[in-house]
């Protein structure tokens, strides 16, 4: 049974298994991504209802460009469709949308939809829904280090003054607490270049359930697992 007084503040998710879900049903690959979008809607709603403050989902990585152009194009079309359909409800439910990653390199229609969602929800104070798009953990850290190097070159910062806090200032997640728990669906047990800096003390929860089948009930199971763990943060 979930203790609603101990809901994790920040939940991050690696939404994996769309393709295998479709394959297991002899459906086109994109049918899995479409079903995954429906699952995402349910989890966003559940997070908001339960009192999760930040939900971060891995929607498209810097490595996903290696996939077929047909699949990549289809994913972005679904993204635009999702935003067009859900933006009104997200806004009405006080959800704030934030993008993590270099999303401006996406197709123009996707960028336009994303910017509209950011502008529409910027003043909302409920669940912050972070969408990691064209995101890579190593790329994020490299980006931060380069910006710090520029400050040192410009004489604005001394090398010995660089701390964890100054590095964090230039991460996409600046101002956002690290994830309390990271969920990965479909049975894979790795981070895949996701939130590498931020996950130092996150609790990892892996489930064999494919993302399109990851229901509110399955979500509650992972939160119950989280609540039954003792977090020591390096202590005893």
pLDDT at 139: 96
The two three-digit tokens of residue 45, written as one number: 């709603």
Under a CB-based contact definition with an 8 Å cutoff, are residues 13 and 56 in contact? yes
What are the DSSP calls for 140-154, one per residue?
Answer: HHHHHHHHHHHHHHT
pLDDT at 147: 96
pLDDT at 231: 82
Longest Cα–Cα distance of the chain, Å, equals 60
Q: SS in 3 state form for 167-214?
A: HHCCCCCCCCCCCCEEEECCCCCCCCCCCCCCCCCCEEEECCCCHHHC
Residue 16 a catalytic site member = yes
Q: Point out the catalytic residue in the list 5, 34, 64, 93.
A: 64
Q: Point out the catalytic residue in the list 16, 139, 178, 180.
A: 16
Residue 134 a catalytic site member = no
pLDDT at 1: 86
What angle do the packed helices 69-92 and 29-50 form, to 10 degrees? Answer: 30
pLDDT at 84: 86
pLDDT at 95: 97
Residue ranges of domains in the chain, CATH in brackets = 10-136+178-227 (3.40.1180.10)
Query: Would you give per-residue pLDDT tens digits along the chain (236 residues)?
Result: 899 999 999 999 999 999 999 999 999 999 999 999 999 999 999 999 999 999 999 999 999 999 888 889 888 888 888 888 999 999 999 999 999 999 999 999 999 999 999 999 999 999 999 999 999 999 999 999 999 999 999 999 999 999 999 999 999 999 999 999 999 999 999 999 999 999 999 999 999 999 999 999 999 999 999 999 988 777 66
């Amino acid at each position: 049974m979930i203790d609603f007084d101990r809901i994790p503040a920040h939940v991050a998710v690696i939404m994996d298994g769309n393709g295998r879900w479709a394959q297991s049903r002899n459906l086109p690959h994109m049918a899995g991504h479409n079903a995954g979008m429906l699952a995402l809607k349910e989890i966003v709603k559940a997070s908001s209802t339960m009192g999760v403050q930040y939900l971060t989902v891995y929607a498209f990585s810097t490595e996903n460009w290696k996939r077929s152009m047909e699949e990549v194009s289809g994913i972005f079309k679904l993204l635009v469709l999702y935003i067009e359909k859900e933006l009104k409800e997200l806004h009405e439910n006080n959800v704030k949308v934030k993008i993590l990653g270099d999303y401006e390199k996406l197709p123009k229609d996707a960028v336009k939809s994303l910017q509209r969602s950011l502008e529409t929800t910027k003043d909302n104070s409920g669940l912050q829904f972070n969408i990691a798009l064209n995101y890579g953990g190593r790329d994020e850290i490299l980006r931060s280090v380069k910006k710090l190097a520029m400050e040192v070159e410009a004489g604005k910062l001394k090398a010995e003054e660089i701390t964890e806090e100054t590095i964090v200032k230039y991460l996409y997640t600046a101002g956002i607490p690290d994830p309390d728990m990271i969920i990965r669906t479909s049975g894979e047990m790795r981070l895949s270049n996701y939130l590498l800096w931020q996950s130092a003390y996150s609790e990892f929860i892996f489930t064999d359930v494919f993302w399109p089948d990851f229901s509110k009930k399955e979500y509650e199971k992972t939160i119950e697992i989280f609540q039954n763990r003792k977090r020591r943060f390096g202590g005893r």
